[in-house]
Amino acid sequence: MFFQIAINLGLVLVGVAAIVYMLIRRQFTYWERKGVPYIKLESYLGTYADVINKKKSVPEMLKELFGKLKGERFGGVWEILSPRLFLVDPDVLRDIMVKNFDSWTSRGMTFNPEVDPLSQHVAMLDGKMWKGVRTKLTPTFTSARLKHMHYLLLECAKDLEKYLDSLAQKNEPIEAREVSAKFTTDVIGSCVFGIQMNSLSDEDAAFRKMGRKITDSSSFWSRFTLLVQASSPWLFKKLKLSLTSPDVEEFFLRITREAFEYREKNNVQRHDFIDLLRNLKNTDQKLGEDDVVFDDKLLTAQAYVFFGAGFETSSTTIGYALHELAVHQDIQERLRKELREMQAANKGEITWDGLQGMKYLDKVFQETLRKYPVIPQIERVSVKPYQLPGTNVVLPAGSKCLIPIYAFHHNPEFFPDPEKFDPERFTEEAKAERRPYTFIPFGGGPRNCIGSRFAEQQSKIGIVKVLDKFKLSLCDKSQNPLRYKLGARFLYPERGVWIKVTHLGANDK
Ligand code: HEM
């Protein structure tokens, strides 16, 4: 009897193991069966095994895969066991992101709004809800509105100058990314929440602490939740996991509520994002089919993503720009000269219009985003079956497509000598000659970065404010060329961006 049970149990286990093995093997032959060229799998951890094992950084891996698929328009890869279509041809990218956007509207991100209200923001939402929220938020970022906020950014820039002044006096190198993160935290705090964050004057400022917490995914729990979210959305929903820690949630709900109440009570208007979000709530909403009703939690979630998506992307970009300016003294001097001309024409001020007119600054900014796209890859998920253009291959709804931004920006066919920092790649003529959809630091199509203009504004102000009073150079701690952090999803420098800042001498001014 006992033996019979043991044998039956053994047979069941072998059967289950055989089915699991066959399902896994079937996943491995997915692209072959579809007739799509693919990169042969060498590990059960998928094509990205070396990234997971921390042997390679994400940008290294993207370049390598792009190279292996040279000559193809796209190819099949796997993230662990999940197949991904890796795009190589910018025309296919345009088809998916722009022309056939209706088939690829999703980012495929799962969340549980009932336990995680701050995750119901525009970057995570899908379908009608995404469309409704995005449509309502888009006018928030028009040039006219950003111009209204320019004075708030200049206020924060003054604090940046004071802070750098104190560091320059100590004659110690600065970690440019951390200094910039304090600046962009203050900017977003002021423009989005209407609060003075004091990150530049107070090492323990609450917002800077929250910022570190949001971007730090090194704890066991956050790794676990992210892994379950990516690998098994079903289980993520079933376990009702949250991507936001309770103290972060409490903090953002409280400060947004307080900001709303304060303005209501004191009838304050600052023309900042919180005024605009309040208007979304207060306007008499005549609801169309795609409209959403903004309650306090939905509004706070949008303010929260402006903070989360906005401060570190911009501060990292400023950090990389300052590094290149420290490496290339000629570019630094040319940019400072342009700044002086702009100031001379504007009574010494950094005006909104003056900043828009700084053509060389724009080239330096674009080239920084080209060489260092902070978000090196993005994804789209299909919401209906999709026939790949020029083929008979039909991908089912729910297929994932990977857009390797970094590999596009570092492909010598699109950008010769890609490791060279050369702002002249962004002259009007060079831009007109370049193949479309090869430069995509802010993504593309209707789901592109909603905050790109604000990012540009705060990054440019940060850069010129540093150049206005300080000379940048490399120091013993600088890493040049910079290498990237292993295991990071974003383009973060391996050892920080260390730079020496000194007060300008009479000859430099
Ligand atoms: C240099 C700075 C920045 C870079 C490089 C950057 C890059 C990106 C990229 C690549 C995407 C994905 C686009 C796509 O899938 O096509 C994105 C989305 C997004 N970004 Fe940015 N971003 C920056 C700054 C900002 C700022 C300052 C804000 C807000 C204040 C912001 C808010 C968002 C939001 C909300 C989305 C999701 C949009 C949607 O799904 O509809 N970003 N960003």
Q: Read off the pLDDT of residues 6-36 as tens digits, 9 standing for 90 and up.
A: 777 777 777 777 776 676 777 889 999 999 9
Question: Is the pLDDT at 400 greater than 70, yes or no?
Answer: yes
Question: Is the pLDDT at 367 greater than 90, yes or no?
Answer: yes
The predicted structure's pLDDT at residue 286: 54
Distance between CA atoms of residues 487 and 58, nearest Å: 8
Take atom 18 of ligand 1 and give the residue whose Cα is closest.
Answer: 449
Burial of 353 (0-12, 13-18, 19+ CB in 10 A): exposed
260-276 tens-digit pLDDT: 888 888 877 777 888 88
Q: For residue 126, which phi and psi values (nearest 5 degrees)?
A: -135, 170
Is residue 503 within 8 Å of residue 488, measured between CB atoms? no
Longest alpha-carbon distance in the chain? 97
Pocket of ligand 1 (CB under 6 A): 122-123, 134, 305-306, 309-310, 313-314, 317, 374-375, 378, 441-444, 447-451, 454-455, 459
Residues 6+ apart with CB under 8 A from 147: 352
Take atom 26 of ligand 1 and give the residue whose Cα is closest.
Answer: 310
77-118 tens-digit pLDDT: 998 888 999 999 999 999 999 999 999 999 988 999 999 999
355-365 tens-digit pLDDT: 999 999 999 99
Ligand 1 pocket: which of 364, 449, 457, 459 to mutate (most atoms within 8 A of CB): 449
User: Measured in angstroms, how far is the CA atom of residue 333 from the centroid of ligand 1?
Assistant: 31
Take atom 30 of ligand 1 and give the residue whose Cα is closest.
Answer: 306
Question: Is the pLDDT at 217 greater than 60, yes or no?
Answer: yes
What is the set of domains in the chain, with CATH numbers?
35-503 (1.10.630.10)
Place of tokens 């060229």: 37
User: Measured in angstroms, how far is the CA atom of residue 373 from the centroid of ligand 1?
Assistant: 12
Mean of all residue pLDDT scores within the chain: 90
Helix, coil or strand: residue 195: coil
Is residue 443 within 8 Å of residue 449, measured between CB atoms? yes
Q: Which ligand 1 atom is nearest residue 443's CA?
A: 16
Bridge partner residues of 499 (DSSP): 174
Is residue 207 within 8 Å of residue 214, measured between CB atoms? no
416-465 tens-digit pLDDT: 999 999 999 999 999 999 999 999 999 999 999 999 999 999 999 999 99
275-318 tens-digit pLDDT: 888 888 766 455 555 567 888 889 999 999 998 888 899 999 99
User: Measured in angstroms, how far is the CA atom of residue 455 from the centroid of ligand 1?
Assistant: 9
> Could you tell me which residue, 208 or 257, shows the higher pLDDT?
257
Which residues sit in the known binding site for heme? 449
Which residues sit in the known binding site? 449
